[in-house]
Amino acid sequence: MPFANVHIIEHPVIQTKLTELRDYTADHRKFRTLLDEIAGLMVYEVTRDWPTMPKPIQTPLEKTIGHVLARPVTLVPILRAGLGMADGVLKLLPDARLGHLGVYRNETTLEPVAYYQKLPPDVADTEVLLIDPMLATGGSGTAAISFLKKAGVKHMRFVCLVAAPEGIQMLHAHHPEVPIYCAAVDRQLNEKAYILPGLGDAGDRLFGT
Ligand code: PRP
Ligand code: URA
C-alpha cells in the first residue's frame, strides 16, 4: 500500500549503491563513499519541482532570460549520521547554507534527545532539505521538523535513505505536509527499533564507532 507524500527514488544506480551500503562487509571508508554518492544522486529527484524565477543575463552574443532557483537553499543534517549525506548534496547545491540539529535516540526509551541546534539566521524563507539516512521510529525526524517549524521554516523536505513504515507513519501523523524522499521503504522495525533489513547503525558504520 503506497504512502501519501512519500517519494521512493528507485533509480537503478541508487539501488545498486544502496545494496552495497547495506552489505555488512562495507567498512567505514566504503560506507562513507557510498552514502556521499547516493545523497548526491538523490538530489536530482528531490529538487525536481523546486520553483525557479527568471533571471536576465547577457551571453557572449545577446541578452536572454535564464532561470534560477527561486529561493536560497539550507541543508540541515541531523547529527551524527546526516553529516554523511551533506557533502554529496553540497556538490550539487554548493551555494547552500548549513544548519545542524543534534538529535540522538535514547537507547532505552527510544525517545529523541535534542542536544544541539544551529541554523542560519534567514532559514525561514529558504528551501530546506533535512537529511538523515535513517527514518526508524520517526522520533528524531519528527522532533527535527518541529524545531524547524518553530524557526519559521515554510518549505522543507525530509531526505533519507531507508525508511521504516512505522517512521513514515509517525512523521506524517505530526507533519503530513512534509514530503519524505527515500531510496527504500523497508519491512519493519525489530524489538530494538532497528530497521529490517536496514543497514544497521548508520552513525556507527559511517564513523567507525
Ligand atoms: C540514528 C539515525 C536517526 C535516528 C533514527 O541516529 O541517524 O537520526 O537514529 O531513529 P528514529 O527514527 O527512531 O529516531 P542515532 O540516534 O543513532 O544517533 P547518531 O547518529 O548520533 O548515532
Ligand atoms: N538508527 C539507525 O542508525 N539504524 C536503524 O536501523 C535505526 C535507527
Top mutation candidate among 195, 206, 209 for ligand 2, by most atoms within 8 Å of CB: 195
The pTM score is 0.97
Start-to-end Cα distance in the chain: 37
Mean pLDDT of 150-157: 98
204 is catalytic: yes
Distance 67 CA to ligand 2 centre (A): 39
Non-local CB neighbours of 209 within 8 Å, separated by 6+ positions: 203
Q: What are phi and psi of 183, to 5 degrees?
A: -95, -20
- Among this protein's residues, is 201 annotated catalytic? yes
Find where cell 549503491 sits.
17
Give residue 64's identity as a one-letter amino acid code.
T
* DSSP H helices in 4-61: 12-22, 28-46
pLDDT, tens digit, for every residue of 29-75? 999 999 999 999 999 999 999 999 999 999 999 999 999 999 999 99
pLDDT of residue 177: 98
Q: Which atom of ligand 1 sits closest to the CA of residue 132?
A: 7
Contact indicator for 131, 75 with CB cutoff of 8 Å: yes
